[in-house]
Amino acid sequence: MEVKFYKRSALTACTSSMVLLSAMLASQSVSAHGYLEVPPSRALACQKGLNTNCGGAQYEPQSVGETFKGFPAGVGGAPLQGPIDGKIPSGGASMFSALDVQSASRWHLSEIKDRNIDFQWHYTAVHPATKHEYFITRNDWNPNESLKRSSFESTPFCMVDGGNQKPVSGAKHNCDIPEDKSGQHVILAIWTVGDTDAAFYNAADVNILAEASLPGGWSSVGGIAPANALLVGDKVKARAFSANGENPDYSVEVSIDSAEEGQPQNWSFKLAEQINKTHTLVRAGIRDEQGNIEAVRGNNSLYAQKDSGVTRYEVQLNMQEDAAARLAVASLKPEYVLDKGLAKVDFGVIANRKMNIEATLYDEHNKSVGSTSAQLDGGAPMLTMDVRANPGQHTLTLIGTTLDGRTTRQDTQVVNLTGEGTVVDYDFVFPQNIGDYTAGTKVLQPKTNEVFECKPFPASGYCKQYAPTANGFEPAIGADWHLAWDKR
């Protein structure tokens, strides 16, 4: 394996007329997936709970940053390629756009104490690698502005030739971080795939402390990753744990006394400051190049001396219920008419809070015959549900949870369906209760309004195989659905 090191040069300015190709590779079926594991990518830190408010990235770090290869410039005189400026961490994918937010205290910083570092990737679906490259932000970059090409040095500080071979998870890419880099930076790790036009772009947030005069004995034991806004009267607690379980002597709790304190970055700061005031063997904050650990308004790391016995911290939110939250079904018709078993059930919802809601219609046997979900901003929106059912009395159940997760409300109403019923019965609306699917299970595919029956064993095992990014056996939709299902 050949490792090449490049001298950095100023990034050539790009004219506004140049087109940046950042669309996902919709024209190709790219199954390669992976993420930077050491140090953790921004998305992997989301999955680990070190970062919050990450959107879909926390569930699929292996899919983040997939777009065209060619960063930062095009190949053979072609236009600039790779993710567009402002969307570099997400690769331009809307479901990962939360990763594009950039501020000095937004993301957890992984400490780098040695300039000689072994980068490691984890691959969930490996394809040949042309190369792995590692870029780093310039010394004059602004951590409070979205990441652009001009934020990074124009050439990688390290490149590992992949030889167009399949890389191995955990293999070490030994690199040297430039000596003039210290403090907060973003490392952009790029895995260029050899047999497609794709590359994976992973941003890693780091705090480079190499050669710093750090006081000895401090170990990382967790972090304070602020997410939800809190209300007056709420409490937040840093719970300390040792090898023998919870250690209440080092646990710290603060109360929220004002709306301003309830803002995520503010309660994180208040809790970190209280930890620092209360104890000398544990500290909360960001460590600087002189070894000082100071609380910040945002993500704070937690450190402990060995004599404390503390090995980890967990942050617990004790939130009061939002007693004023309201949710109700409104504008419900006296009856809905079925046409060959099909109907659109439309109804209004009244809510005075932003909520994630789920509405389900059950028949007289308590079987789901239709469902819908949405995120409401409050007010009185109208919702529509596709239903496949037989005539009779049905139950509409509406459940809503406030976006901060503190309060759930429910309303239940009776719905009458008349007209012509369905001919084919079914057990579930796909993919509801997918873990219960066995040979003979009948499901309604709401995307096509058709019913499918799970094939006998051993093909029945495929009926349970489903994920938003790997849906090969989804009835009527997946490329291999016919191996698992029979159409009724």
Range of lowest pLDDT (233-242, 261-270, 378-387, 388-397): 378-387
Residues 34 and 76 placed together within one structural domain of the fold: yes
pLDDT over 70 at 480, yes or no: yes
Mean pLDDT over 427-446 rounds to 89
Q: pLDDT class for 227, splitting at 50, 70, 90?
A: confident
pLDDT at site 79? 64
Mean pLDDT of the chain: 87
Q: Name beta bridge partners: 358.
A: 373, 399
pLDDT at position 483 is 92
Residues 276 and 414 in one domain: no
Residue 214 lies in a domain: no
Q: What is the CATH number of the domain that holds 301?
A: 3.30.70.2150
Q: What is the mean pLDDT of residues 211-218?
A: 75
Kindly give, in sequence order, each residue whose CB lies less than 8 Å from that of residue 181, ignoring residues fewer than 6 positions away: 136, 139, 208
| pLDDT for residue 1 | 39
Specify whether 223 is located in the same domain as 198: no
pLDDT(5) > 80:
no
DSSP-based three-state secondary structure for 124? strand
Q: Which residues, 6+ apart, have CB-to-CB distance to 240 below 8 Å?
A: 246, 247, 248, 249, 250, 251, 252, 282, 310, 312, 313
Which of 318, 345, 368 terminates a domain? The answer is 318
82: pLDDT confidence band, cut at 50, 70 and 90?
confident
Last-in-domain residue among 382, 399, 419: 419
Predicted local distance difference test score (pLDDT) of residue 70: 87
Q: Is residue 409 part of a domain?
A: yes
213 part of a folded domain:
no
pLDDT tens per residue across span 293-320 = 999 999 999 999 999 999 999 999 999 9
Let me know whether 79 and 179 are in one domain.
yes
Residue 398: how many other CB atoms lie within 10 Å: 21
SS3 for 304? strand
**Does the structure show a pLDDT above 60 at 7?**
no
| Same domain flag for 313 and 331 | no
Residues 184 and 44 grouped into a single domain: yes
Residues 84 and 172 in one domain: yes
pLDDT band at 290 (very low <50, low <70, confident <90, very high): confident
Both 61 and 137 in one domain: the answer is: yes
Average pLDDT over residues 414-423: 89
For 102, 232, 292, the CA distances from 266, given in Å and listed in that order, are 18, 13, 21
pLDDT above 60 (res 438):
yes
Q: How many residues does the chain have?
A: 488
Q: How many domains does the chain have?
A: 4
Exposed (0-12), middle (13-18) or buried (19+): which is 99, by Cβ within 10 Å?
buried
Would residue 141 count as lying in a domain?
yes
User: Residue 107 and residue 51: Cα distance in Å, rounded?
Assistant: 6
Residue 383 sits in the same domain as residue 480: no
Mean of the pLDDT values across residues 328-343? 92
pTM (global) more than 0.75: no
Q: Which two tokens mark 345? A: 């059930």
pLDDT class for 26, splitting at 50, 70, 90?
very low
Q: In terms of domains, do 180 and 274 share one? A: no
* pLDDT given for residue 2 in this prediction: 40
Domain boundary among 419, 441, 458: 419
Give the pLDDT score at 25: 38
Report the candidate in 422, 413, 411, 409 with the shortest Cα–Cα distance to residue 394: 413
Query: Same structural domain for residues 274 and 247?
Result: yes
Which residues span the domain enclosing 128? 3-208
Co-location of 355 and 300 in the same domain? no
DSSP-derived pairing of the beta strands 342-351 and 382-388? antiparallel
Beta bridge partners of 338: 419
Picking from 117, 127, 152, 123, the residue whose alpha carbon sits closest to that of residue 61 is 123
Residue 447, pLDDT score? 83
Share of residues in the chain with pLDDT > 90 (%):
64
Give the tokens for residue 237: 């607690």
